[in-house]
Structure 1
Amino acid sequence: MIKRILLLSFMLMGFSPSVLWAQKQTFELIMGRVAEDNAVTKPKQVDAAAIKLFDKWQEDGSWSDINYKAIDITKWQPSTHLDRLRTIVNAYTDKDGSFYGNPQIFNKIQNALAFWYDQDPKSDNWWHNEIDVPQKLGELLISLRYGSQKLSKELEANLIERMKRGVAEKKTGANKTDIALHYFYRALLTQDKALLKLAVDQLLEPVALVDGAEGLQYDYSYMQHGPQLYISGYGAVYLTGIVKIGKYVANTPYAMSKEQVALFSKFYRDVYLKTFRSKYIDFNVEGRGISRKDILKKTSEKYRINNAKLIDPKNADDWENNRLRVDSAEAPSFKVTPYHQHFWKADYTLHIRPNYSFNVRIASNRTNRSESGNKENLYGRYLSDGATNIQVNGPEYFNIMPIWEWDKIPGTTSVDNKEDLLLDKFWGHLGDNAFAGGVSDQVYGATAYQLDYDNVLAKKAWFFFDDEIVCLGADIHSKDERNVTTTLNQTWLNGKVSSSVADIKTESPEQMNIAANGWLFHNGVAYVFPKPSQVNVSTATQTGSWYKINNSFGKAEVSGSVFKAWIDHGKQPEGADYAYIVLPGLKDAAALKKYNSPIEIVRNDKDVQAVFHKKLNLTQVVFYTAGTATVSGLEITVDKPSVLMVKSLKGAEKEVLVADPLQKETALKVSLKNAKNGVQKDLSITLPTGPYKGSTKSEKVSL
């Protein structure tokens, strides 16, 4: 490790900025932090890794097994040259390592950088040329400033000049942050104050709320590539850039403002980290990255959390609780409190309880559907149609994507194709439906989606409580010759599958006739059917390859046993429906024998989907048109389509919460009538406008 750089620890021990400035000038201070961030933590391991790279490292600094002419858009071979140099530079600059100051190694490092400059490899993917390469060059050059020998001034100047690729001012969101980061490195290397200010301004400019443009939204979701859900993926890149810059410039004139720290902290703690179950993230928030191997397992998140704690020490306890949970040092339930949020800008719902997570992704003509691009996520055409991520332990969906049946994404209603269908539009495109939204009080809520995609129409809704999520579908139509199905789940098989009919004993798909209030149970999750239902269940071995879904991976066959359950609505359904209640987090199927459902499904038709929870005395209703629904003695009338929730407070007092799923109305008239005493109250609720269209508004009333 670079021992001379102690400034970050001084800062943490409470030294004032004046003490820091007395020891270092601003540039040296910040560059020292960058160097420390990239320095060796385990010398023996780095030395061993460097030794392995010497074999094919030629005198001119190139590696014999790298094709420097490659132009691939993903897994671009030439970038491996810089990655290997990073390992060797770490070994060379580490004072505790065996290669520190080795002149022969330094000469080859210099040759390797000269070779790179002369060859100037380029990818057909702009990201490598304008983001990845300049960033890596900047980090290498900064690290080498702390070696015992210095690069020739001419070579260093040439490489710094070569870093001038990409224009941060023309980019948004994570792309802006990525390019501005190598501006930042270049400013440090050249001690250019104007460039340093520009770089920091560009880096921190995205730490602000935007209305529908790429970046951090007013609901604290994150979108990139148009209005497309990317809480992870590009959202994670955004966080990485902010965490780096925030740590580097702390206690300097360039430090983040209190307002910027607050925005960053809220997105990271209250949104991004809430999409985790243990160290596994919700597949809904990765965008096209869902097709990348190991992407859902975030083994290094703990390091970013530790750095975030330095930027936002006020919330140190919460950062540490998150780190323990995400690092699996504590149980997935550790310090998890009930939380529910519908993100009206991104068409996404988070529902979290200590013993499970149940999240939903939908789409509308205001948001882009899941994208395919760079030959990634080739089959994700139904990922935006009500995909439900149900996690109890965490790894339920980890690396299952190569063997998924892609028209049976958990939670979705779609046509049943003979073979998986490729996405035929790239980089995301707006949905066709206007009706998509949800109501939320941060603990409970309801989400609704009027599906209109791939020759299927349906009205789908989810009603979220503590122990139950009620899943309803109605008015399902299709003129397609293919069958239409609704998938309950498709996840790794883990243990036996039980049901109220019989245990599943065959791998082959089996159709089960489940009586009213019958159930299906697998891996801590139960599916209860309020009415008689025909449910198809499979525990078969499924086969595929990573190459099939992402052409940057190999074609080797992968397989595994999968639990898959779905309802078949047949060909060309006219007004079909479904209803099932999910109970996640149960210890075993025996718990179902004691379960007495508090759920009353009041209506599930083309106009209204309504559910009442008896224990919570909580009503949730989706109105697809103006109309009336009577729920547990309460007559509710609305004059426009809406998603509504009525909470019982003390005595006769009620709280009415509403949201506009079309995001076009300014007011909603709601009438509540108590059937017992005839008392009626008429409300005219002013709905949120501007960037808050579609968010929840509440009013209290006494009946």
Structure 2
Amino acid sequence: YGIAENSDGTLRGKPIWFVRYAETYINLGHPDVGKLFNDNGQTLRKYNDFLFQVAVAHDAAADAAERAELERMYVLLTRHLLDQGFAAGSAQGTLHHLGYSMRNFYTAPVIMRDVLRRAGLEHDVQQAMEWFSGVGEVKLPPAEPGMDIDAFNTSLVGRLASIVMLPDTPVKAAWLEAFSRWVDNGYKVTEGTGPCFKSDGTVFHHRRHYPAYAVDGFSGGAVNAVWLLSKTQFAVSAESHAVLKRALLEMRFYCNLRSFPLALSGRHPDGRGELVPWHYARLAVAGTPDGRGEIDPELAAAYLRVAQGKDAYTRLFAEKGFAPEPSPAGNRVYGYNASVSHRRADWLVTVAGHSRYLWSAEIYQGANHYGRYLTHGSMQLLADGDPVSAFGSGFRQEGWDWRHIPGTTALEIPMERMKADIRNVDTASGYEEMLLSDEAFAGGVSHRGRDGVFAMELHEHDKYNGSLRARKSWFFFDNRIVCMGSDIENKAEGGVHTTLFQNFLADAADPLVVNGEAVTQFPYRAELAGGAVLRDNLRNAYFVPKGRVVVSKSLQRSLDEETDAPTQNNFATAWIDHGSGSVSGGGYEYMLAVHASDEEAARYARELPYEVLRRDASAHILRDRPSGITGYALFAAGKVGEGLLESVSLPSLVIIGGDGEGLTVSAADPDLRFYEGPSDEVFDADGRRAERSVYSRKWIDNPSGESQLEVVIRGRWQSADDRPECRIEPAGENTALIFTCREGATREVNLIEMK
């Protein structure tokens, strides 16, 4: 940095460049003024990171001469930073988005407090810490619940550090009380698409569930704040502690073992995103939310499973008698994410959609250029690897065909045409793409926490192919997932495909089984006209009773999702071909059996374990023979007349199953109802939906509206529950169940037949 002291005591050195200054120059027409400073390593973030490294090195140094030199360096660096304008009261044109660049600025002074005091800089640095962290905000009573996850990540520790640097007086205690109140409010559950904690355990950023930002927020401050303040008078409330715990436990359910599902990876669908094990351990040692337990047993057990390590936390929890939890099992719907997670044994199946409230994909310049189909009904298996991971389960970004994401119904066009056209569409957004559908139906229902149904009305945005539509459903029973589609429409040029699987081939000779025949040759391509029975290279079986099925083993060529550079790899891929160009009234049906045994595969090839009762524009209805459960994806209200279900008052999802003694009815309204009526789309002169950012929508902070869903079932029934989640009324010879629905959540009631 060329820092040196002049003879008069002033400093000389290179300027420190904050990346947001570039925006001023961009507006003045300069193409890339930041490049000069970036190339010279003079950015504010690198400077503060280096300050922190010097502080840590000083703290660890055993040699006196080395320690003295590090102290000299740190003092010079600090004086230069203050001299360059990073001092209290200085704005320098803009102070927004300081977070990542200033994070380590706040931590280093706490380590180097004695050094700063000797240099006469302690007060000036503490004041700068207050100024840039915006800690004054904590003195204000919170006006709204919740906090941006980036504030947890980039502001929280800086604000706490600025308070820690104060002298130990009653004023400091008052600051800590105010800080605790501010932090506590940040964990409160919020409505609409606002940040950040939701009632279903999802964590929002950029107006959707975003695990990648969640883990950064947990690392940056959300977990540490609860831990640091625990067991003191400044501890957060039991309610807030429980909200954070819930978010962590849900994350370990919708991830496997640590990997994020591709559709939950935000703008970085590269397979590398994952949860962070130490979050579970550190929150565990903060105690139980009610303060009664020194160590939280659920979080300790979760840590032992996801960490699989031999560190100090593992030893501590083992000494206290904790054991790793078994892999979670069950079916959970995340209404705020239009997704469902279905687990058994050590595997996870994730299905993800989008709607008029929840965007389909986040695409930036330099990130996720080809990910437009990520939530077109994608179905990903995280089931393999040692330990289980996205890469062990068949994903590789290199060579990945973004047009054939498993589960999706999508158009196959040249990969170059898949690249997003990223624009700055309004003053509420930057250069990004986050397209919404105009359909409200996307969500699911769980049954007894074990099985489930998920469905969506797919309509691609007019920016690309507004003619593509489909009604899609998934029925989950143990390791069997039945997938159905109807009313597939398309007018654009290209093949319309519903993808079964796309798996990386570590060995080109890895076998597939196609209609009972093992296929080891490479390359390979088969077009099967009358359906197919397939086994992929990861022991999963696919049963397609009819339709044209294409199976391929080939060297796939693709483009890097960030750089557009050519990539390639060997993959096994299979899809149902609905035709090219104009498609009307297309449909499909297939069953996936996860890690099917040879006996299962042979049995299901002889006879499918389900019966399709209906598959049309109004309803997809299926009865699972082994369990006797019937699932209903009802895209329209009115008479149903299949199984025990007579009618519904709203488009909805219903599951009905009995155990011989009684009946369980599970129901959900998948419409989040952030607003009512027609979609709020705006149309251009050609009648096409115009691209608008989610941030510009008036409804984004509205609460999820309530709906009254009436489910009429045949026969006379009464509640077997002490506190049923519905009102039960006679309806002639039938029974009306009136569920109060909200947030896409499952409502469930247990019934017994009236004698």
TM-score category of the 2 structures, normalised to the smaller one? 0.7 to 0.9
Alignment match, 2:413: 417
| SS of corresponding position for 2:437 | coil
Mapped contact 1:60–1:112 kept (Cα < 8 A) = no
C-alpha change, 1:328 and 1:506, in structure 2 (3 Å) is farther
C-alpha change, 1:85 and 1:581, in structure 2 (3 Å) is same
- Residue number among 142, 166, 187 corresponding to 1:207 in the alignment: 187
Alignment match, 1:682: 734
| SS of corresponding position for 2:225 | helix
Alignment match, 2:491: 479
Alignment match, 2:454: 447
Q: Deviations over 1:113-143 (max 9, x none)?
A: 3333444699999998521233211111111
Structure 1: distance between partners of 2:357 and 2:272: 27
Of the structure 1 ranges 217-226 and 237-246, higher mean CA displacement relative to structure 2 is found in 237-246
Q: Deviations over 1:572-619 (max 9, x none)?
A: 1111111121122346x6762355642222222222211111111111
1:287 aligns with 2:266: yes
Alignment match, 1:219: 200
Structure 2: distance between partners of 1:164 and 1:608: 58
Amino acid of the residue matched to residue 53 of structure 2? T
C-alpha change, 1:126 and 1:290, in structure 2 (3 Å) is farther
Alignment match, 1:435: 441
Alignment match, 1:245: 225
Spell out the pairing of 1:525-674 with structure 2 (5 A cutoff): 525-545=540-560, 547-548=562-563, 558-570=567-579, 571-586=581-596, 592-595=601-604, 597-629=608-640, 634=644, 636-651=646-661, 653-663=662-672, 666-673=707-714
Spell out the pairing of 1:320-359 with structure 2 (5 A cutoff): 320-329=300-309, 335-359=326-350
- Residue number among 522, 530, 535 corresponding to 1:520 in the alignment: 535
Alignment match, 2:688: none
Mapped contact 1:222–1:235 kept (Cα < 8 A) = no
Mapped contact 2:610–2:625 kept (Cα < 8 A) = yes
Alignment match, 2:383: 392
- Residue number among 173, 177, 183 corresponding to 2:148 in the alignment: 173
Structure 2: distance between partners of 1:530 and 1:208: 49
Q: Deviations over 1:499-554 (max 9, x none)?
A: 225334455562331755622322132222133542343442435336426xxxxx
Structure 1: distance between partners of 2:15 and 2:609: 63
Amino acid of the residue matched to residue 444 of structure 1? D
Spell out the pairing of 1:144-159 with structure 2 (5 A cutoff): 144-145=112-113, 150=117, 152-154=119-121, 157-158=124-125
| SS of corresponding position for 1:579 | strand
In structure 1, stretches of 5+ residues that fail to align are 1-56, 550-554
Structure 2: distance between partners of 1:100 and 1:591: 72
Amino acid of the residue matched to residue 451 of structure 1? L
Structure 2: distance between partners of 1:514 and 1:100: 79
1:167 Cα deviation from its structure 2 partner: 5.0
Structure 2: distance between partners of 1:568 and 1:125: 56
Amino acid of the residue matched to residue 104 of structure 1? E
Mapped contact 2:253–2:328 kept (Cα < 8 A) = no
Amino acid of the residue matched to residue 85 of structure 1? L
1:143 aligns with 2:115: no
C-alpha change, 1:202 and 1:685, in structure 2 (3 Å) is same
Spell out the pairing of 1:453-464 with structure 2 (5 A cutoff): 453=460, 454=465, 455-464=467-476
Q: Deviations over 1:155-185 (max 9, x none)?
A: 7614741662365859932133232331111
Alignment match, 2:46: 80
1:497 aligns with 2:541: no
TM-score under structure 2 normalisation?
0.74
1:99 Cα deviation from its structure 2 partner: 6.9
Q: Deviations over 1:461-517 (max 9, x none)?
A: 111111111111111001112221112233322443222253344555623317556
Of the structure 1 ranges 129-138 and 162-171, higher mean CA displacement relative to structure 2 is found in 162-171
C-alpha change, 1:680 and 1:423, in structure 2 (3 Å) is farther
C-alpha change, 1:484 and 1:99, in structure 2 (3 Å) is farther
Amino acid of the residue matched to residue 622 of structure 1? A
| SS of corresponding position for 2:328 | coil
1:663 Cα deviation from its structure 2 partner: 4.6
Amino acid of the residue matched to residue 479 of structure 1? K
TM-score under structure 1 normalisation?
0.79
What is the number of equivalent residue pairs in this alignment? 623
C-alpha change, 1:151 and 1:459, in structure 2 (3 Å) is farther
1:465 aligns with 2:480: no
C-alpha change, 1:166 and 1:140, in structure 2 (3 Å) is closer
Mapped contact 1:409–1:489 kept (Cα < 8 A) = yes
C-alpha change, 1:136 and 1:327, in structure 2 (3 Å) is same
Alignment match, 2:500: 488
- Residue number among 103, 107, 111 corresponding to 2:72 in the alignment: 107
1:388 Cα deviation from its structure 2 partner: 1.8
| SS of corresponding position for 1:185 | helix
In structure 2, stretches of 5+ residues that fail to align are 6-10, 24-33, 138-143, 311-323, 424-431, 674-705, 717-730
Q: Deviations over 1:289-326 (max 9, x none)?
A: 335xx63245xx22222211112344633323322332
C-alpha change, 1:528 and 1:251, in structure 2 (3 Å) is same
Alignment match, 1:266: 246
1:189 Cα deviation from its structure 2 partner: 1.1
C-alpha change, 1:289 and 1:543, in structure 2 (3 Å) is closer
1:250 Cα deviation from its structure 2 partner: 1.6
C-alpha change, 1:421 and 1:535, in structure 2 (3 Å) is same
Structure 2: distance between partners of 1:658 and 1:109: 62
Mapped contact 2:378–2:408 kept (Cα < 8 A) = yes
Q: Deviations over 1:212-252 (max 9, x none)?
A: 122111222222212x1213423541464221111111222
| SS of corresponding position for 1:233 | helix
Structure 1: distance between partners of 2:437 and 2:601: 39
- Aligned-residue identity in percent: 18
Structure 1: distance between partners of 2:258 and 2:636: 42
1:411 Cα deviation from its structure 2 partner: 1.5
- Residue number among 280, 295, 301 corresponding to 1:305 in the alignment: 280
Of the structure 1 ranges 138-147 and 610-619, higher mean CA displacement relative to structure 2 is found in 138-147
Mapped contact 1:489–1:566 kept (Cα < 8 A) = yes
Mapped contact 2:504–2:569 kept (Cα < 8 A) = yes
Structure 2: distance between partners of 1:597 and 1:329: 42
Alignment match, 1:16: none
Alignment match, 1:700: 751
- Residue number among 401, 404, 408 corresponding to 2:404 in the alignment: 408
Q: Deviations over 1:337-372 (max 9, x none)?
A: 322111222212111111310012111112233222
